[in-house]
Amino acid sequence: MTVRILDSPAAAGAAAAAVVRDCVQDKPDAVLGFATGSSPLPLYNALAESGEDFSGVRGFALDEYVGLPPGDPRSYATVINSEVVERLGLPQGTVRVPDAAAADLDAAAREYEQAIRDAGGVDLQILGIGHNGHVAFNEPGSALDSRTRVEELAERTRRANARFFDSPDEVPTRCLTQGLGTILDARHLLLIAHGADKAEIVARALQGPVTPDCPASALQLHPRVTVVLDRAAAAKLTDTGTPA
């Protein structure tokens, strides 16, 4: 595991963007895994400003809310389209999002897993981390070998995401999410986090025990992980080298 600590969220975003650009330069048709939320936004900003050609990239989003109508501005399909596809100049349809509007969600989850396999797997998976340690929407208690599935959102997650909705009651209670096992299948994991409010969970994830109670701790099981933090998010790490 490689941990890089930068002075600001923007600097962390630029450093993380360099990892993505290296991947795409080595493999112009790379399969990227895209995260949503606030953590990867500095990364996407830096990629959009880089002027790199990402037109050959294919991708998969980590998750999607269940219960939002197609085209809802708060859906992750809409966010991915505006923050990733349009800004990076990707052809429409090249980034797939879980079909959380499917009549059979379990079948949609299986189809998503198969689509990732059919694409040859994910070359580089971008990740954020939630305050309770979730990655994608794998909430505490998720099995470390879990696959894409329907997941109930933790109340803390719903409260954190309520800022995107008119009221907390509008936040969906379920999602369709890649599992921890699905994420760990990617060849390279790139975690980005910033802000003092993430410091405690970053330390637990990177230097605490590997446990379903902190889903992001599963990253310690992967052979190739790059972590990019600003100094505030790294404040509670006890060792700024490679975590144990």
Q: Which residues are catalytic?
A: 63, 132, 134, 139
CB 178 within 8 A of CB 186: no
Q: Give me the phi and psi of 242, to 5 degrees please.
A: -70, 120
> Interhelix angle for 41-50 vs 9-26, to 10°?
60
Token pair for 40: 């990867």
If you write DSSP's letter for every residue of 146-190 in order, what string do you get?
--SEEEEPPHHHHHHHGGGSSSGGGS-SEEEE--HHHHHTSS-EE
Residues 6+ apart with CB under 8 A from 92: 81, 85
Q: How many alpha carbons fall within 13 Å on the CB side of residue 40? A: 26
Nearest residue to 42 (alpha-carbon basis) of 8, 78, 76? 8
* Cβ-proximal residues to 50 (8 Å cutoff; 6+ apart), any chain: 17, 21
